[in-house]
Amino acid sequence: MGKRKIHTPFFVVNPKAYLYGEKALELAKYADWLAEQYGFDIFFTGQLVDLPRLKAETEHLILTAQHMDGITPGVGMGHVLPEALAEAGVEAVFLNHAEHPMPFSSLAKAMARANALGLLTIVCADTVEEAQALAALKPDIMVCEPASMIGTGKVSGSSYMRMTNDAVKAASPDTLVLQAAGISTGENVYTAILSGADGTGATSGIVAKEDPCAALLEMITALDQARSERE
C-alpha cells in the first residue's frame, strides 16, 4: 500500500490530550479549511476514539494517531492495532514521543508494521545523537525537539535546529525533518522553516491560547510567508 506524498513545508496540529470530542472536531474543521485555502499538508492528531469522526467530517487533513504498537491481529489487549488505524482512515502515526517513549526494538517493529500498511511514520528524537541514530531506521518524518522544552514555550535554538536537520539528512536524505519544540507564535514557525526544517507544528501554542483557531491562523500565515521566501 502506497504512502501519501508530503509537500513541504507542512504543519502538525497536535492537541495531545488537551482537546477531545466536539472541541477537537471544531479545531480540526478549521485546520481542514486552512489546508484547503493555503494548499498546505496539515497533519492533525486526535484521541483514538475521535479519529473516525474527524476523518468523516474533514477532507484535506492527514489524520494522525498519537501512538501505535507493532502488533498483528490477535492477542494484544490494550495495545493499538495498526490495521484498526488504517481501516479508520488514519494516514500517519507518531512514534517514540517523549510522553510515550518506546524501546528501540518496539519502535522498529511498529515502523515495520506502519510501512507494511502504508502509514507515514513520524518518529521523535531528543538529542542530535538520537536523531541521527533513529534516522537510520528511515522514518518518513523525524521530529527533533529537546524533551526539556516540550510544553514550555521555549523554542529550540537555531544551532540545535541546524545540527539536527543536518544529522537526519546525513543518515537518511529522504526523511523530512519537523522542528516543533516550544512553537507558540507565527514568528517561531517562520524561524523554524527558514532554519531548514521541512515542517513544524504546535500543541500548547495553539490549544492553550484563548482562541486556538486564531493562533493556528497566525501560524499558517507565517508558514505561508516562509514558504514564499524559501521558494
Residues known to be catalytic: 97, 145
Neighbouring CB atoms inside 10 A of 229's CB total: 10
Half-sphere exposure of 201 (CA within 13 A, CB side): 28
Angle between helical axes of 158-171 and 128-135 (0-180°, round to 10): 20
Chain centroid, CA 40 distance in Å: 14
DSSP 42-99: EEEEE-TTTHHHHHHT-SS-EEEES------SSS-TTSPPHHHHHHTT--EEEESBTT
| Residue type at 168 in one-letter notation | V
Chain centroid, CA 31 distance in Å: 14
